[in-house]
């Protein structure tokens, strides 16, 4: 079987790092390209770091032909410094990556969004995520997949005190999330990454939203 090349935007984040590690370990992939502003300390014979300007990401030319693009770009309003700066990363950069996929005729784009994404929401965060999803849906990429995790579990490189407390509390209450509450159950970043890779391998939907509760081996086919 011919091996594939994958590209990741946001490989330094929680889900993005899991994607990078799992794709590197997957024998179905020959090369993994990560788009970065500056070189990272990650090294592996299968890994290629491509420097990009995220302000003009749609103009980027991939160093190799790419079969799949994984997007784990995202920040927080606190880290970004303002709602406008947050919007640039979580909306503008992601849509720019989508246009990059259109331009380079890439067949599959898989994106980490968030539970509650809704372009009509009165909550700024959810509204931006919903606008991003609507923009991606309108693109002419053959297969587009949106993943909406609930609270992400895992160890981040950066410290987020509020999120660390939430992870501890929600993790302890994990057994209470069943039935209609299952979709709210915290999900491990490694499981989100695995669901994305599995989906890329097995599905050909034009546009599909995968909710947090579906991100398990038994439900993603």
Confidence of residue 54 (pLDDT cuts 50, 70, 90): very high
Q: What is the pTM of this model?
A: 0.88
* Cβ-based burial of 177 (10 A; exposed 0-12, middle 13-18, buried ≥19): middle
DSSP state of 38: S
Tens of pLDDT, residues 124-183: 999 999 999 999 999 999 999 999 999 999 875 554 444 454 444 445 445 444 555 566
Beta-carbon neighbour count of residue 108 at 10 Å? 23
Tens of pLDDT, residues 79-137: 999 999 999 999 999 999 999 999 999 999 999 999 999 999 999 999 999 999 999 99
* Cβ-based burial of 172 (10 A; exposed 0-12, middle 13-18, buried ≥19): exposed
Q: Which domains does the chain have, with CATH numbers?
A: 4-158+187-214 (3.40.50.720)
């Amino acid at each position: 079987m011919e091996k594939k090349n994958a590209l990741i935007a946001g490989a330094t984040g929680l889900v993005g790092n899991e994607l990078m590690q799992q794709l590197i370990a997957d024998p179905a992939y020959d090369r993994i390209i990560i788009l970065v502003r500056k070189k990272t300390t990650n090294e592996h014979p299968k890994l290629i770091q491509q420097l990009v300007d995220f302000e003009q990401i749609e103009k980027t030319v991939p160093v190799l032909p790419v079969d799949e693009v994984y997007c784990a770009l995202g920040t927080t309003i606190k880290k970004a410094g303002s709602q406008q700066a947050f919007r640039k990363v979580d909306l503008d950069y992601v849509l720019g990556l989508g246009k990059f996929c259109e331009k380079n005729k890439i067949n599959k784009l898989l994106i980490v969004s968030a539970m509650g994404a809704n372009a009509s929401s009165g909550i700024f965060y959810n509204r931006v995520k919903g606008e991003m999803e609507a923009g991606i849906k309108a693109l002419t990429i053959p297969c587009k997949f949106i993943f909406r995790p609930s609270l992400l579990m895992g160890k981040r490189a950066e410290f987020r005190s509020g999120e660390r407390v939430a992870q501890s509390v929600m993790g302890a209450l994990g057994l209470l999330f069943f039935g209609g509450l299952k979709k709210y159950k915290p999900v491990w970043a490694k499981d989100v990454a695995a669901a994305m890779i599995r989906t890329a391998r097995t599905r050909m939907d034009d546009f599909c939203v995968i909710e947090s509760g579906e991100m398990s081996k038994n439900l993603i086919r």
